[in-house]
């Protein structure tokens, strides 16, 4: 019967890791079941100051062999922004990149589940893996191609296309997002032609680049609201045609534009339309409904009415006292 510490040893496997920068070594314990059940290479992220001052990633196959290393330019603590969606204004550039990364990973996963593609991987500009679902051998070959590219600094690739012996296609696209370059590697089934694969990639890139950055949207909304407030401050009430008006309805069986004199219901009199300053507005409104509102009169008309009122008052007084003793 195995002792408790022996049972523990049966579940754990020690793997020797070597830092790809300074070549420091350390035995790392990994769970056997996790490695053996993995359908692809298992990625071990080694943080800085664990083995040495460097952080890196190691790729382990199901037989516990180290198949490759990559330097870690972004550790887990720095990648938290992609999971939490930080909205700090200082992180806006990284946050925008994270939106694209999330969309790429989601679309690759969904298209693989739907059988549109056989797998995909996403690297950042330093070659670190951000999403991984490629078969082991293909993944290692892609890493090898990246290493060759790094060695030859004169070569700047825009796209890489590989067709395997079984007619499967591998497309590698370099996507520019702000100041960051993301590398997308997609494995297509044999039945997919190169033309169809290119068409898929074009649509894929358009889809992942169509995002709405909440920070930018908020800034635009704030700017819009500021402009509205400023416009409201500048806005002044339209100047009244005159200081003299009467609020009344105007009803007429004949179109007002055909009349020379307009009957004002409230006054009970007709007024020459040349004395109504807002006549055009009244006529336009009355085409659909009887007009009701302010009717503005010219200053000259009101002055005339004031004179007549005074004259008529004097005449009325005179006539009332004419030929009377008292």
Most confident of 4-8, 141-145, 167-171, 312-316: 167-171
Most confident of 16-25, 106-115, 120-129, 272-281: 272-281
% the chain with pLDDT above 90: 9
Question: Is 37 within the bounds of a domain?
Answer: yes
Flag whether pLDDT at 18 surpasses 50.
yes
Q: What pLDDT score does 296 carry?
A: 92
Question: By mean pLDDT, which of 67-81, 111-125, 192-206 is the weakest?
Answer: 67-81
User: 156 falls in which pLDDT band (50, 70, 90)?
Assistant: low
Flag whether pLDDT at 88 surpasses 50.
no
Are residues 89 and 162 part of one domain? yes
Average pLDDT on 243-267 reads: 90
Name residues whose C-beta falls within 8 Å of residue 123's C-beta, 6 or more positions apart in sequence: 129, 130, 146, 182, 183, 185
Question: Is 223 within the bounds of a domain?
Answer: no
Q: How far apart are CA 32 and CA 42, in angstroms?
A: 11
Are residues 50 and 67 part of one domain? yes
Q: Give the end of a domain, one of 72, 96, 118.
A: 72
Question: Is 222 within the bounds of a domain?
Answer: no
User: Strand pairing partners for 263?
Assistant: 270
Q: How far is CA 143 from CA 16, 118, 136, 214, 300, in A?
A: 21, 18, 11, 35, 92
Question: Is 177 within the bounds of a domain?
Answer: yes
Are residues 176 and 255 part of one domain? no
Q: What pLDDT score does 81 carry?
A: 32
Question: By mean pLDDT, which of 56-60, 229-233, 290-294 is the weakest?
Answer: 229-233
Are residues 97 and 151 part of one domain? yes
Q: Give the end of a domain, one of 168, 192, 212.
A: 212
Flag whether pLDDT at 42 surpasses 60.
yes
Q: How far apart are CA 277 and CA 273, in angstroms?
A: 8
Higher pLDDT, 319 or 280: 280
Terminal C-alpha separation, the chain: 144
Most confident of 45-54, 55-64, 166-175: 166-175
The alpha carbon of residue 288 and the mean position of all alpha carbons in its chain are separated, in whole angstroms, by 45
The total of structural domains in the chain comes to 3
Question: Is 6 within the bounds of a domain?
Answer: no
Average pLDDT on 266-277 reads: 90
Average pLDDT on 76-83 reads: 35
Q: What is the pLDDT of residues 279-304, one digit of tens each?
A: 999 998 888 888 999 999 998 888 88
Mean pLDDT computed over every residue of the chain = 76
Flag whether pLDDT at 151 surpasses 70.
no
Are residues 156 and 205 part of one domain? yes
Are residues 312 and 272 part of one domain? yes
Bin 115: left if φ > 0, else alpha if -120 < ψ < 50, else beta: left
Are residues 116 and 49 part of one domain? no
Q: What pLDDT score does 263 carry?
A: 92
Are residues 86 and 206 part of one domain? yes
Are residues 187 and 311 part of one domain? no
Read off the tokens for 188. 């297509």
Flag whether pLDDT at 112 surpasses 70.
yes
Higher pLDDT, 188 or 81: 188
Give the 3-state DSSP-derived string for the chain, with helices as H, strands as E and coil as C: CCCHHHHHHHHEEEEEEECCCCCCEEEEEEEHHHHHHCCCCEEEEECCCCCCCCCEEEEECCCCCEEEEEECCCCHHHHHHHHHCCCCHHHHHHHHHHHHHHHHHHHHHHHHHCCCCCEEEEECCCCCEEEECCCHHHHHHHHHHHHHHHHCCCCCCCEEEEECCCCCEEEEEEEEECCEEEEEEEEECCCCCHHHHHHHHHHHHHHHHCCCCHHHHHHHHHHHHHHHHHHHHHCCCCCCCCCCEEEEEECCCCCHHHCCEEEECCCCEEEEHHHECCHHHHHHHHCCCCEEEEEEECHHHHHHHHHHHHHHHHHHHHHHHCCCCC
Higher pLDDT, 216 or 300: 300
Query: Which of 152, 145, 96 shows the shortest CA–CA distance to 121?
Result: 145
Are residues 129 and 25 part of one domain? no
User: 72 falls in which pLDDT band (50, 70, 90)?
Assistant: low
Are residues 80 and 46 part of one domain? no
Strands 180-188 and 169-177: antiparallel
Higher pLDDT, 191 or 140: 191
Question: Is 182 within the bounds of a domain?
Answer: yes
CATH number at residue 134: 3.30.450.190
Are residues 94 and 27 part of one domain? no
Q: What pLDDT score does 85 carry?
A: 38
Q: Give the end of a domain, one of 163, 194, 212.
A: 212
User: 323 falls in which pLDDT band (50, 70, 90)?
Assistant: low
Question: Is 239 within the bounds of a domain?
Answer: no
Question: Is 111 within the bounds of a domain?
Answer: yes
Flag whether pLDDT at 137 surpasses 80.
no
Q: How far apart are CA 102 and CA 105, in angstroms?
A: 5
Decide: 171 and 186 in contact? Cβ < 8 Å: yes
CB atoms within 10 A of CB 201: 18
Flag whether pLDDT at 196 surpasses 70.
yes
Q: How far is CA 314 from CA 31, 57, 304, 323, in A?
A: 116, 109, 16, 16
Could you list the residue range(s) of the whole structural domain that residue 60 is in? Answer: 11-72
Higher pLDDT, 81 or 13: 13
User: Strand pairing partners for 18?
Assistant: 25
């Amino acid at each position: 019967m195995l002792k408790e510490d022996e049972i523990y040893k049966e579940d754990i496997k020690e793997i020797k890791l070597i830092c790809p920068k300074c070549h420091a070594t350390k035995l790392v314990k990994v769970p056997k079941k996790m490695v053996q059940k993995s359908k692809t290479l298992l990625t071990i992220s080694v943080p800085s100051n664990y083995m040495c001052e460097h952080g890196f990633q190691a790729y382990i196959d199901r037989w516990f062999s180290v198949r490759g290393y990559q330097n870690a330019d972004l550790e887990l603590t720095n990648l938290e922004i992609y999971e939490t969606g930080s909205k700090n204004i200082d992180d806006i550039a990284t946050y925008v990149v994270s939106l694209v990364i999330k969309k790429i990973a989601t679309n690759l996963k969904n298209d693989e589940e739907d059988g549109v593609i056989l797998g995909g991987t996403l690297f950042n500009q330093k070659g670190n893996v951000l999403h991984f679902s490629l078969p082991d051998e293909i993944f290692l070959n892609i890493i090898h191609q990246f290493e060759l590219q790094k060695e030859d600094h004169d070569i700047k690739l825009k796209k890489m296309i590989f067709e395997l012996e079984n007619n499967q296609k591998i497309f590698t696209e370099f996507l520019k997002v702000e100041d960051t370059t993301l590398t997308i590697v997609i494995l297509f089934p044999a039945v997919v032609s190169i033309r169809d694969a290119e068409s898929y990639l074009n649509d894929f890139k358009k889809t992942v680049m169509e995002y709405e950055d909440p920070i930018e949207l908020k800034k635009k909304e704030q700017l819009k609201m500021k402009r509205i407030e400023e416009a409201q401050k500048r806005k002044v009430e339209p100047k009244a045609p005159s200081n003299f008006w009467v609020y009344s309805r105007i009803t007429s069986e004949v179109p007002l534009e055909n009349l020379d004199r307009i009957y004002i219901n409230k006054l009970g009199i007709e007024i020459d339309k040349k004395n109504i300053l807002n006549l055009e507005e009244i006529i336009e409104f009355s085409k659909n409904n009887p007009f009701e509102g302010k009717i503005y009169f010219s200053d000259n008309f009101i002055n005339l009415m004031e004179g007549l009122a005074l004259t008529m008052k004097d005449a009325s007084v005179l006539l009332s006292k004419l030929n009377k003793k008292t």
